[in-house]
Amino acid sequence: MPYKVSHGKALEVTYSPYEVFARIQHEEIQFIDLQFTGLTGRFHHTTISANTFTPEHMRDGLPKLDGSSIIGFASINDSDLLLKPDPNTFEIIPWMTENKTARLL
């Protein structure tokens, strides 16, 4: 969760899927990096075009992941998984200046 400090206290900042989507459009984000960890704690990600991303993807998830390719996730028969991004983890990746990219966990 993101926080901001006000009067010496940390206050939790929350975003709705629609606020994140509006920011993606306003900031002219080109790519969304969807990040997650496997069962062993290993970091994984997949990148999608921002123009295919909708607020509903944050609500319903994206059918974007083949779990059989990740150790411990699923067998080949049960491998279709959803990525369900948390809107509160949205952040623009500052070093990606040429192809503006943001990430969601």
Residue 77 pLDDT more than 60? no
**Threshold 0.85, pTM exceeds:** no
> Is 3-104 a CATH 3.40.50.620 domain?
no
d(CA 67, CA 29): 27
Express each pLDDT in 39-73 by its tens digit.
Answer: 788 888 889 999 999 999 989 998 766 655 565 55
Indicate the residue type of 69. S
Contact between residue 34 and residue 83 where contact means Cβ atoms under 8 Å apart: yes
